[in-house]
Structure 1
């Protein structure tokens, strides 16, 4: 028997026929190689290159993870199913040049689904620090209009850490393509893969967490060419190849009379011929591979894990079984992607570290449609537990200002780079209408606007019927502005400033009729249920009579005029107006009972008003100690804190309305000043419907105020609080709209200002501290957008007391004495409570 192997029999034949000689030859070759100097030099060089490459990879990984951030995606109410295609196609432009990829690496993204019982289902994007800020947020806003993004730094692990005394059992793995990566996955799945994933992770116990992580980075055409090479010509895409196949072929060639491998017969097209079914499968696979080769591609890895806490060492086996079952349920969902290719599970060592650090080494090549199939926002609007955006997010138009010396800041856009948004001072003259229930951020926005006006030196008057707004402003005002503050505080024991509505010293006799009309109208509208024409007539005649006398009259004189004959005779005998003399003559002819019935409705309202010490000192304490003209023109800050809990609802409305009336008198006096010399000022009314009780119709007031450079900020909770007259006047003339979350009934009316960009659904589903805005830009309507209000800075301890003390000190300063800031004091007239010597 001849045991000598011929050269034609190959290395396997020689090894089988003469194994001893083959082993000796191999040992001799290895020994010769090891002692060769050239081999040692090559080995050291290869080791050095590998170590340098390893160090470079680690350095690139650390650089990518440094300053990484997380972007939480909140699904909009209406979702475009093709948004994921647009998103991943847009980000393919982040592919770096070859030299940059070699030195710094190619940044990859992490698209993560996490589910916990505490926070529900969340979809987040992990973004390396090397990706420019705002880029991903803008891509999300472009692909999914209306989606909200919330960026946090630094990025956290998608799975919770173990607490003290508690261990966490983790089960999961990695999903890799089971066939050649040039063959595609299924992209026409009729269901929703994300919905299935979140459903599979539903009903977790407290402390448990599930995560699916998809890491992806764009790849070049060369990488795609390698991935798709031979995929189209492979007869059996899933047949094993490599050493095992070659070894089996060699063994069969030895035991068969003829070589097993024969040249394949081809048809006219060059394709291997066979049965019809094989040909059809080959043709379908070739076409699918050719389709996948087109367009952009991403290199991806899918990881999944379930983490379960275990106290101590008990129950670890049961917890591991539960975690494995949950993890298998997540992996099974990806079976829906099976087509020419499919996902195969793989175990990975140090899975927790890989998921936490988002490591992406070498992955599988997927086309954009394939990646969009497994990484997208869910289209099912009824998915429980999913963190959703309450309303669509709209980017502000480019012409909306971001800030500056002649703007008023409103907040931040809630899309893209979250740029600041503001309204120009000139456009604010068209007034701001701010609408929303309590707790949504109205007061925060108002306080921001007040502080900005104060810091910019613009006059501002604030009427607050609750008290918290003024408190927030006082505790945050800079100390340098304390000399400009005028404070009305119903809860303070210190004497307040006096604003006498019958003091016409600065406005002159020309403003007397307007002052009386406003005062009578305010009482009439607040007490309309008990107010008749005779009461109106008595109050008007009495006020005109008191104001016609020398000196300064007050509302405290009105009861004396109506009830004390001696006082009435002394005042009325010098009345020059014959109409008024006729009124008092007829009044004197009434019996005591008739007079009591006639003046009773007026006196009981007036006495209830004047019996409060704060009101009597602030409204009827004698000549005015402050002038609203000075506050508006010299950059003063008037804060009226009139809480209903301290004064009562009617009294709070009455005092606030009288302050608004006095403000309007000061504003109308600006008509005698050239338009270019009128400084901008603001009147801020929280719960505005309580204080718009002037004799001037609201629509006329708003229209005139714009030309006189007074901007009104009208805030309230719902449209039902407004009368028809107020609603129509504010809707037409307060042209800057800022709408927080409102009721469906209000949204139906307000959507007329925001359609078609924002619907009724959007206006009713705005989150807290989110608002929809429709602003003017240079007098023209800009399209609506959404914003978030900025939180107020922390209050300065003791600042409110400091500002209040400065306001009291300045109030007692004589009018000709300069204020500490170098400006003349805003206060004027005698100290409160001195009264008028004429009436003693």
Structure 2
């Protein structure tokens, strides 16, 4: 091919040809020099604008893998009755086959044909001599592969298999095993320090996401690391409970609607009242965002701050604070800030009953719907929590099973968010603990979009969680479940990426993290229990690869 380009540059044809008059022309050039010389100069050749295009096309073609290609065909028929002339019909069929390649009969001379002297013997022997040089796109075009997806018996290409980078660990102490590499089959693991860079996990129903989550959770529990799981479906926690060794049962705190006596949790507990109230109001405002306004925010915030001036208070004290003048008087008698809480309650007591009901009605309606759930009422009725969240972070296990089908979507989101707020309060309290004494804890948020409603932005949480040695795994089914700002925060700050099979529209977005190794076609065509991973190793991201969980 390169020699052909060189001949074109010299003004010759791409393929050498024999010219019977060449010797005579050479003699004429010798004895009659000057402008009568018979050969074509390079300048003359360059007058043809297509020559430069051919040269560039040839050189571009030689930069890719090439295939020697030959197309052979023969037409045969059974002997027919006497008097018929099958030769004309066969010749017509042969010409029809040849004409199908007419679209490729350009200046590359692909349409050159020769007749096989003994077609049956040549085809049977399958001897392949020199053929056309074709690139992969040219070969695919000549193959005429069907583009219709509904072709019976045709299996479409699935995702590519990519090898695991050498730097990725394969197991051992302080490492979480993710699965086995598709290429090579050796184990793939994520070190505990690198897990602190957080993990973003996406996968459709049935893709294998829940199985991997369960494996990672069991790995953390058996290694003695703190483990927290929020499960809004319920199946993940049940799977984990079936696999936890009986010897570790004393480390487990379980929230489950099936319990008669669930653990006690007071969302109003905390060393920083302002942070407690900020999280509580933010959670209610996020979950009821369509109906939540400034007045509801004000009523909720003032009520919580007022209750926190006293000991042994819970969320169940908010309705009597707003409805009972006697209870309200007892809670506000010691307030001495006329521009703050005292001023609010003074204004509130001067309202007419009708206007007062109009102001507090929306808050009480949403709070009452939450507190009337039997499981929620039993969980939140005590002023002291029955477990220490800091001990959970230091090696305990907190399993929160809050299925939407049993509790309702709003209740499930509220309770999960309140528990996550308590986790975050305990995590930030680690600031007073020396860094080398902070123990690793893993937080698994299945369908994470339900619980990321705290006052602190997700950017801030992910950035600070790492220094508190919290490794967050944010799992969900598709990108549409996340608001744009949350998705941007996860994309930038959860640096370990694990993607199971996703919808094509999600694959286009997620491919930004897996290119050039794997593209959107690969992400949309992964087999079940097969994932694309891009992990952090020693603080640096590896190229994308495939693994089986």
TM-score bracket, normalised by the shorter chain, equals: 0.7 to 0.9
Match of 2:287 in 1: 526
After TM superposition, give the deviation of residue 779 of structure 1 in Å: 0.5
Alpha-carbon contact 2:159-2:523 (below 8 Å) kept = yes
Q: Distance in 2 between matches of 1:673 and 1:340?
A: 75
1:414 aligns with 182
Report 1:793-808 matches (<5 A).
none
Distance in 2 (alpha carbons) for counterparts of 1:786 and 1:627: 40
Is residue 2:246 matched to residue 1:470? Answer: no
Per the alignment, residue 267 of structure 2 pairs with 501
Contact 2:442 2:472 in 1 (8 A): yes
> What are the within-5 Å matches in structure 2 for residues 177-576 of structure 1?
188-190=69-71, 335=123, 337-339=125-127, 385-386=153-154, 390-415=158-183, 417-490=184-257, 492-504=258-270, 508=271, 511-549=272-310, 551-576=311-336
Match of 2:397 in 1: 637
* Distance in 1 of aligned mates of 2:318 and 2:197: 38
Match of 1:693 among 449, 453, 456: 453
Task: Give the match for residue 599 of structure 1.
Answer: 360
SS in 1 for 2:315: coil
- The answer as to whether partners of 1:499 and 1:627 remain within 8 angstroms in 2 is no
- The whole-number CA distance in structure 2 between the counterparts of 1:571 and 1:712 is 39
Count of aligned pairs? 420
Following the alignment from structure 1 to structure 2, what is the Cα–Cα distance between the partners of residues 425 and 340?
A: 57
TM-score (norm 2): 0.74
CA distance in 1 between partners of 2:122 and 2:261 (Å): 75
Q: Are the equivalent residues in 1 in contact too, given 2:199–2:495 (CA < 8 A)?
A: yes
Q: Distance in 2 between matches of 1:757 and 1:384?
A: 30
Shift of 1:191: 8.1
Q: Secondary structure at the match of 1:470?
A: helix
* Alpha-carbon distance change, 593 to 757 in structure 1, aligned in 2, over 3 angstroms: same
Distance 1:522 1:457 in 2: 31
Go from structure 1 to structure 2 and tell me whether the alpha carbon gap of 1:688 and 1:565 turns closer, same or farther (over 3 Å shift): same
Alignment gaps of 5+ in structure 1: 1-186, 193-331, 342-377, 790-840
Q: What is the CA distance between 1:702 and its match in structure 2?
A: 0.4
2:543 to 780, 783, 797: 783
Question: 1:646-795 to 2 correspondence within 5 Å?
Answer: 646-789=406-549
* Aligned partner of residue 206 in structure 2, secondary structure: coil
In structure 1, how many angstroms separate the alpha carbons of the residues matched to 2:145 and 2:397? 52
**How far has the Cα of 1:748 moved from its partner?**
1.1
Structure of higher RCO (CA pairs closer than 8 Å, 6+ residues apart): 2
In structure 1, the partner of 2:43 is none
8 Å CA contact 1:502–1:552 kept in 2: the answer is no
Counterpart Cα distance in 2 of 1:401 and 1:470 = 28
Counterpart CA distance in 2 for 1:733 and 1:569 is 48
User: Partner of 1:161 in structure 2?
Assistant: none
Deviation at 1:493? 3.7
Residues 268, 277 of structure 2: 8 Å contact kept: yes
**Cα contact 2:70–2:128 (8 A) shared by 1:** no
For residues 495-532 of structure 1, the C-alpha deviation after alignment (integer angstroms, 9 at most, x for no partner) is 1001211123xxx2xx1111110000000000011111
3-state DSSP of counterpart to 1:390: coil
TM-superposed deviation, 1:388 = 5.6
What secondary structure sits across from 1:767 in the alignment? coil
1:671-722 deviation line (CA, Å, top 9, x unaligned): 1111111100011100000000000000011000011100101000111110
Task: Give the equivalent residue in structure 2 for 1:38.
Answer: none
In 1, Cα distance between equivalents of 2:193 and 2:72 = 53
Rounded to whole Å, the distance in 2 between the matches of 1:425 and 1:379 is 51
| 1:499–1:624 contact (8 Å) kept in structure 2 | yes
User: For residues 333 and 536 of structure 1, what CA distance do their matches in structure 2 show?
Assistant: 89
Does the Cα contact within 8 Å between 1:719 and 1:727 map onto a contact in 2?
yes
Paired with 1:405 and 1:710, the residues of 2 have a C-alpha distance of 18
Distance 1:334 1:410, change over 3 A: farther
Judged with a 3 Å threshold, the aligned counterparts in structure 2 of structure 1 residues 606 and 398 are, in CA distance, closer, same or farther, namely same
CA distance in 1, matches of 2:219, 2:315: 36
Q: Which residue of 1 aligns with 2:377?
A: 616
Q: In the aligned structure 2, how far is the partner of 1:333 from the partner of 1:714? A: 65
Equivalents in 1 of 2:247, 2:179: separation in Å? Answer: 25
1:552 CA drift (Å): 2.1
What is the Cα deviation at residue 405 of structure 1? 1.2
Give unmatched runs, 5+ long, in structure 2.
1-67, 74-119, 130-142
Shift of 1:404: 1.0
TM-aligned CA deviation for residue 188 of structure 1:
4.3
Residues 340 and 682 of structure 1: CA distance in aligned 2, closer, same or farther (over 3 Å): closer
Aligned-pair distance for 1:409? 1.0
How big is the shift at 1:339? 3.2
Secondary structure of the equivalent of 1:392? coil
**What's the CA shift string for 1:46-82, capped at 9, x where partnerless?**
xxxxxxxxxxxxxxxxxxxxxxxxxxxxxxxxxxxxx
- Superimposed CA distance per residue, residues 759-799 of structure 1 (whole angstroms, 9 cap, x where no aligned partner): 1111111111111001100010100000111xxxxxxxxxx
* SS of structure 2 residue aligned to 1:439: coil
Alpha-carbon distance between aligned partners in 2 of 1:381 and 1:688, rounded to the nearest angstrom: 42
The C-alpha deviation readout for 1:330-364, integer Å capped at 9, x for no partner, is xx9994653389xxxxxxxxxxxxxxxxxxxxxxx
